[in-house]
Amino acid sequence: MVIQTSKVSESRTNPNQQNFIHEIEEGLLAHSASISPKFLYDPLGSHLFTAITLLPEYYPTATEKSILNHYQAEIAEAVGTGGTLIDLGAGNCLKAESLFTFLKPSHYVAIDFSEEYLHDALENLRSKYPQIQMHNIAMDFSRELILPDFIPNDDRIFFYPGSSIGNFLTSEAQALLTQIKEQAGNGSLLIGVDLMKEDHILKAAYDDPLKVTAAFNLNILRSINSLIGSNFNISQFRHQVMINHAENRVELYLEALEDLSVFWPGNSKLFKKGDLIHTENSHKYTIHSIQQLLADAGFKSTKIWVDPKDYFAVILAH
């Protein structure tokens, strides 16, 4: 059957800039300074993260892709075809695109924090898949996930790959998953989660020899400068990785290399040499812990696919 081509206008709603400024200031001025990881993904940061996914040390992307490819028939049977695929943290949309051939969505909804990067990625997809109605939405879904009325309610399949759920504290992850369950209705969630493993594997993945991850982490300071008018100098900081076994997570920091002061309109922050800015958590799960988290969010059943090394899991939750 030939489906008539239709191009849907994008949602171009800008996030509330003042809320971002307040959130950034609150994090910087706290006793232990922090910046939300969502600010890693400005246009340059999004491109740097794409480069990270190509590194041999960064196993999550390749491992997740291998699971999706190997089990695509089983996944398609479990998920169903022809639904509305909702891609959370879509980035360059390549992960979702890999699902198009076997899930055959009628609609594709790409949601991301970086509007500019997302818009360019979707323009390319529209020309390749004219049979799929596409929407792009700039949204900070880490705070609130509410889909606009023009998104179909039936057969919603949320796609949240890359173990991005690991960026959230347990309470925050549960809150987001609960919102996904509410927005999915009778639909489902296809989610990728990273499993806990040896320190040397994690260390190499988050502190690669080419220092692409370091550049990605340091770029958050440029992102903050553009958002709040601060004068961070990236040469005064370095990328640091710590593995927190008590919390089963990798933690990313920026360490001040000298005593320094950072200024922005209406405020400033003094950093001593060795002071840290916490930029990201990446929680690692066991199968039991992620099943429990999904259950607490209201999902009633799960189907799980893992790679031969038990590095990563792709889970379908209903």
One DSSP character per residue, 64-82 reads: HHHHHHHTHHHHHHHH-SS
Query: What pLDDT, on the 0 to 100 scale, is given for residue 16?
Result: 60
pTM as predicted = 0.86
110 close to 84: Cβ distance less than 8 angstroms: no
Judge whether 35 lies within some domain: no
d(CA 266, CA 160): 38
231: helix, coil or strand?
Answer: coil
What amino acid occupies position 221? L
Judge whether 166 lies within some domain: yes
Query: What pLDDT, on the 0 to 100 scale, is given for residue 118?
Result: 81
145: helix, coil or strand?
Answer: coil
d(CA 283, CA 169): 8
Query: What pLDDT, on the 0 to 100 scale, is given for residue 9?
Result: 32
Beta strand 133-138 pairing with 107-112: parallel
Judge whether 279 lies within some domain: no
Q: Which domain holds residue 144?
A: 45-197+284-317
Q: How many domains does the chain have?
A: 1
pLDDT beneath 70: ranges in the chain: 1-16
d(CA 71, CA 238): 40
Judge whether 174 lies within some domain: yes
Summarize pLDDT for 226-256 with one digit per residue, the tens.
999 999 999 999 999 999 999 999 999 999 9
Query: What pLDDT, on the 0 to 100 scale, is given for residue 20?
Result: 86
Judge whether 307 lies within some domain: yes
Summarize pLDDT for 56-70 with one digit per residue, the tens.
999 999 999 999 999
Output the domain CATH number for residue 146: 3.40.50.150
Query: What pLDDT, on the 0 to 100 scale, is given for residue 100?
Result: 96
d(CA 83, CA 230): 44
Query: What pLDDT, on the 0 to 100 scale, is given for residue 139?
Result: 87
Judge whether 107 lies within some domain: yes
Query: What pLDDT, on the 0 to 100 scale, is given for residue 11?
Result: 35
